[in-house]
């Protein structure tokens, strides 16, 4: 189960990481349980309804990859290695203080890593179907949602009432509405914020654990952006080419892709990937039986692990139109086979709409930063 003491190397951490450790320790000292999650398929409303907090686990840095490679193969997805490395080294406050980790069998690499991770932390694995439309898959995922509820109740000694889960659904839907309102501000031409600024809010929101305060802060951010734009502030030039990013989860080390685009005269107006639209695009039906509503909503998330992956392409096409996109950049991580294989299908969808497309493969190192900038600058220049 989770710990309540700071790690032995605490004093060697940077100030931002120390702040993260102290924030989570304060929650733990108040008796709040912490559940670490790996993917957007986790129905976090179940965790919220138990009185615990959910938080995305650190997995966007190459810092702990050398430690992970003592156990895991080197030719493995950097996200998987980073996740495991943070557990080994106790350098991630959210991993370190978690009382339970919840993962889903999204890919073979993750599900085998979870077996090893389960030796270090309490682990619950949800068996994710690979298709989204047949009744067997829907029933299977519904049962997995119920199994998560039972595990959380048993581990934390609580009973999640119908009122609890419905309240959690309403609260999470409110957050989704605000995050969607935030990123849809970039439909404006020119957009009122850069892609880097948009990403900072989208990613950072998951590390704020007072929901009411978080919703208020998001509302204030949105209102401030609107007010500044109405006053004539234009932080992004109208000439900037409007780019949509899709592909693997993007944050931390892979923000180098955003930087390369925006330093080359483009602007990222939207993110289809896990940190952006696909996470908040659809709400949970508040009028349906709650666990069925959760299962239905989460199973429909578009991702390359699904076959066929119509929902990803449908969302992408819609974002291209709504955000008046000039080009699409797909970012894939090395050894992420499902996204890499799906690139060709994605290319056909995007180019079928007459939109320029490029796919770039990267990892968490800085070694390819210059190469990425050259390729993406050439891509933008081609659209000039």
Query: Can you tell me whether residue 376 is helix, strand or coil?
Result: helix
- 362 and 273 belong to one structural domain: yes
- In DSSP terms, 242 is beta-bridged to 267
**Which of 135, 170, 131 is closest to 300 using CA atoms?**
131
Q: What sign has the CA pseudo-torsion 94, 97, 99, 101?
A: positive
Indicate whether 230 and 372 sit together in one domain: yes
- Do 132 and 250 sit in the same domain of this protein? no
Cβ burial, residue 11 (10 Å; 0-12/13-18/19+): exposed
Distances (CA, A) of 154 to 50, 151, 170, 226, 239: 11, 5, 24, 46, 56
Residue 126 bridge partners (DSSP):
104
Q: Is residue 195 part of a domain?
A: yes
pLDDT attached to residue 354: 97
Same domain, 109 and 190: no
> Do 376 and 235 belong together in one domain?
yes
- pLDDT tens, position by position, 264-312: 999 999 999 998 999 999 999 999 999 999 999 999 999 999 999 999 9
Give the residue numbers spanning the domain of 334. Answer: 164-383
Please say whether the beta carbons of 322 and 187 come within 8 A.
yes
Q: Which residues of 255-275 are buried (b: 16+ CB within 10 A; e: fewer)?
A: bbbbbbbbebebbbbbbbbbb
Shared domain for 152 and 195, answered yes or no, is: no
Q: Which of helix, strand or coil describes residue 81?
A: helix
Residue 1: inside a domain: no
Same domain? For 218 and 248 the reply is yes
What pLDDT, in 10s, does the model give residues 22-48? Answer: 888 899 999 999 999 999 999 999 999
105 shares a domain with 196: no
pLDDT of residue 307: 97
Instruction: Write out the E strands in the chain.
Output: 34-37, 53-56, 100-104, 123-126, 241-247, 266-271, 327-333, 357-362
Same-domain check for residues 100 and 170? no
Residue 88 domain flag: yes
Beta-carbon count within 10 A of 75 CB? 8
**Cβ(351)–Cβ(322) below 8 Å:** no
Given 160, 187, 212, the domain boundary residue is 160
Pairwise CA distance, residues 140 & 127, whole Å: 8
CA 51 centroid distance within chain: 22
Q: What is the pLDDT of residue 5?
A: 74
In a domain, 4, yes or no: no
Does a structural domain hold residue 306? yes
pLDDT of residue 20: 72
Give the DSSP letter of residue 368: T
Which of 382, 213, 242, 250 lies closest to 323 in space, CA to CA? 242
Q: Which of 108, 142, 160 is the last residue of a domain?
A: 160
**Total domain count, the chain:** 2
319 contacts: CB under 8 Å, gap ≥ 6: 244, 270, 272, 277, 325
Enter the tokens of residue 327: 């080009």
pLDDT of residue 76: 97
Residue 214 sits in the same domain as residue 156: no
The CATH number linked to 149 is 3.40.50.11890
Note whether residue 77 is domain-resident.
yes
Q: The domain spanning residue 361 has which CATH number?
A: 3.40.50.11900
CA distances 290 to 165, 187, 299, 335, Å, are: 7, 33, 14, 37
- Residue 241 maps to a domain: yes
Same domain, 220 and 123: no
The two three-digit tokens of residue 112, written as one number: 């085998």
Please report whether residue 3 resides in a domain: no
Q: How far apart are CA 146 and CA 141, in angstroms?
A: 9
Pairing of strands 53-56, 241-247: unpaired
Q: Which of 160, 192, 216 is the last residue of a domain?
A: 160
Q: What pLDDT score does 201 carry?
A: 92
Residues 231 and 325 both lie in one domain: yes
Q: Whole-angstrom Cα distance, residue 316 to residue 348?
A: 12
Q: Which residues of the chain have pLDDT under 70?
A: 1-2, 6-18
Q: Residue 14's pLDDT is what?
A: 52
């Amino acid at each position: 189960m989770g710990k309540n003491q700071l790690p032995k190397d605490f004093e060697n951490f940077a100030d931002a990481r120390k702040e993260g450790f102290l924030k989570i320790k304060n929650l733990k000292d108040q008796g709040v349980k912490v559940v670490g999650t790996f993917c957007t398929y986790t129905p976090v409303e179940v965790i919220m309804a138990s009185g615990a907090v959910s938080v995305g686990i650190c997995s966007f840095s190459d810092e702990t990859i050398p430690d992970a490679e003592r156990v895991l193969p080197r030719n493995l997805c950097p996200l998987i290695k980073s996740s495991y490395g943070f557990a080994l080294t106790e350098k991630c406050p959210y991993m370190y203080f978690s009382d339970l980790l919840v993962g889903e069998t999204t890919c073979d690499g993750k599900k085998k890593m979870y077996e090893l991770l389960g030796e270090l932390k309490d682990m619950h694995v949800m068996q994710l179907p690979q298709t989204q439309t047949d009744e067997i898959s829907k029933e299977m995922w519904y049962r997995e949602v119920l199994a998560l509820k039972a595990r959380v109740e048993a581990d934390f000694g609580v009973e999640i009432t119908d009122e609890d889960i419905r309240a959690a659904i309403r609260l999470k839907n409110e957050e989704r509405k605000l995050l969607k309102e935030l990123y849809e501000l970039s439909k404006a031409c020119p957009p009122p914020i850069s892609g880097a600024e948009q990403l900072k809010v989208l990613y950072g929101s998951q590390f704020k654990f007072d929901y009411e305060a978080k919703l208020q802060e998001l509302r204030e951010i949105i209102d401030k952006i609107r007010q500044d734009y109405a006053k004539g502030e234009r932080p992004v030039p109208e000439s900037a080419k409007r780019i949509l990013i899709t592909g693997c989860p993007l944050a931390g080390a892979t923000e180098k892709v955003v930087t390369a685009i925006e330093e080359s005269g483009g602007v990222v107006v939207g993110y289809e990937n896990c940190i952006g639209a696909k996470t908040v695009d659809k709400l949970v039906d508040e009028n349906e039986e709650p666990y069925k509503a959760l299962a239905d909503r989460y199973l429909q998330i578009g991702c390359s692990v699904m076959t066929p992956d119509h929902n990803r392409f449908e969302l992408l096409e819609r974002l291209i139109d709504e955000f008046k996109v000039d080009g699409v950049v797909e970012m894939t991580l090395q050894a992420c086979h499902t996204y890499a294989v799906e690139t060709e299908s994605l290319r056909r969808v995007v180019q079928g709409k007459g939109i320029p497309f490029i796919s770039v493969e990267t990892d968490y190192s800085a070694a390819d930063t210059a190469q990425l900038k050259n390729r993406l600058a050439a891509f933008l220049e081609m659209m000039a």
